[in-house]
Amino acid sequence: MHIHAGKWLRLTISGAGCRAMVSLNTYAVTQPAIEGLDPSEYGFAYDITPWLQPGRNILTVVLIGPPGEQPFRLMAEHAGQVQLLLVEAELMPLVAPWRLWTTTVELTSPVHPSALVGE
């Protein structure tokens, strides 16, 4: 996913419960599932723009244990448009007790029109 500097990136997460851990680079967006903390993150949205660094950023999702009543869902919105949608119910079933999913978020600088002159 590519986004331009100066625009926001918002994650909306639901169905996380105590079994999901979402992080951007080294910043935890949800409480670690392995700590078994009470899930207060159902249906929350979080602006992760301040955590983005120029260049590549790594968004990581770890799901531990079987799906709950409400499947995990993560939506990434950039400037009001959905850029990424991860829905646990659409993933292939696995025997493993956990799942790992990663993607990159590339933060690019906006190109100033004067920089294009002469190209």
User: How many domains does the structure of the chain reveal?
Assistant: 1
Q: Tell whether the model's pLDDT for residue 110 goes beyond 80.
A: no
- Please check whether residue 38 lies inside any domain of the structure: yes
- Please check whether residue 89 lies inside any domain of the structure: yes
Query: For residue 10, what are the domain limits?
Result: 2-109
- Please check whether residue 78 lies inside any domain of the structure: yes
- Please check whether residue 118 lies inside any domain of the structure: no
- Please check whether residue 114 lies inside any domain of the structure: no
Confidence (pLDDT) at 15: 78
- Please check whether residue 64 lies inside any domain of the structure: yes
pLDDT in tens, 45-85: 778 888 888 889 998 988 888 777 778 888 888 888 888 89
- Please check whether residue 28 lies inside any domain of the structure: yes
DSSP string, 73-106: EEEEEETTEEEEEEEGGGSPP-SSSEEEEEEEEE
Residue indicated by tokens 């979402």: 22
Q: What is the pTM of this model?
A: 0.72
pLDDT in tens, 17-56: 778 888 888 777 765 444 444 444 445 677 888 888 888 9
How, if at all, do strands 9-14 and 73-78 pair?
A: antiparallel
